[in-house]
Chains A and B, each alone.
Chain A
Amino acid sequence: GEDVEQSLFLSVREGDSSVINCTYTDSSSTYLYWYKQEPGAGLQLLTYIFSNMDMKQDQRLTVLLNKKDKHLSLRIADTQTGDSAIYFCAESIRGGSQGNLIFGKGTKLSVKP
């Protein structure tokens, strides 16, 4: 079945880059997503990438996709304390946007001053 795997914790110092990794299993995924969850809040879409792309950059965020290895990563440049949150990788299945997203368990990013 479909599965999305992430490491559970990452700790970095303020100003450093953070790299959060994710592996997925459904090779037919059309879209892959990164969501951010701040304490006590719901998830918020951070960025996404189409499966026919290798990289997407959006300000401090860089998403890299390796379709062959089914590996997705999110790089946050110049990490700030406000970036402390849980980051979820998700893939869409069954043609994507209309329905099911499979989420990883989330990576808790802690940013130390």
Chain B
Amino acid sequence: DAGVIQSPRHEVTEMGQEVTLRCKPISGHNSLFWYRQTMMRGLELLIYFNNNVPIDDSGMPEDRFSAKMPNASFSTLKIQPSEPRDSAVYFCASSLLRSFEQYFGPGTRLTVT
């Protein structure tokens, strides 16, 4: 199995631009999680989906952030417009429903200048 796939691995963009991060979960997994990791705040859960339905988006920092999961094999996290304080590593993770083990992707390192 290829594991959780994230793209791009690195993204550098200018303030005000739209950024789209992509995630392909492990085939057969039906829970998907988006996290953000920074030195200051550590690892924060942004949103998670069960069976493609958003369950808890209370961690999404503000309306500039949105996430979708149009099908079981694909999810996006969009930031529009991006700001320098959004610079972080964004992780996607997936798991089987009711499993305690989340499988993390390699992350997308986002730099907003």
Partner of A48, one of B43, B48, B100: B100
Find chain A residues with CB under 8 A from B106 CB: 40-42
Q: Is B56 part of the binding interface, using a Cβ–Cβ cutoff of 8 Å?
A: yes
In chain B between 73 and 113, which residues have their CB closer than 8 angstroms to a CB of chain A? 91, 93, 95, 97-102, 104-107
Are B42 and A105 within 8 A (Cβ)?
A: yes
Are A97 and B91 within 8 A (Cβ)?
A: no
Are B100 and A97 within 8 A (Cβ)?
A: yes
Find chain B residues with CB under 8 A from A103 CB: 42-43
Count of residues in A whose CB is under 8 Å from the partner chain:
22
| Interface of chain B: mostly helix, strand, loop or mixed | strand
Q: Mark A80-113, 1 if CB is under 8 A from B, else 0.
A: 0000000010001000111111111110000000
Are B107 and A42 within 8 A (Cβ)?
A: yes
**Which partner residue on chain A sits nearest B31 by CB separation?**
A98
Most buried by B among A45, A96, A106: A45
**Which partner residue on chain A sits nearest B45 by CB separation?**
A100
B19 nearest CB across to chain A (Å): 19
Q: How large, as a class, is the contact surface on chain B? A: 20 to 34
**Which partner residue on chain B sits nearest A102 by CB separation?**
B45
Q: Is A44 part of the binding interface, using a Cβ–Cβ cutoff of 8 Å?
A: yes
Give the B-binding residues of A (Cβ under 8 A).
Answer: 31, 33, 40-45, 48, 88, 92, 96-106
Known: A40-B106, A42-B104, A99-B56. 20 other contacts (CB 8 A): A33-B100, A42-B91, A42-B93, A42-B106, A42-B107, A43-B43, A43-B91, A45-B102, A92-B100, A96-B100, A97-B98, A98-B31, A98-B50, A98-B98, A99-B50, A100-B45, A100-B48, A101-B102, A105-B42, A106-B43
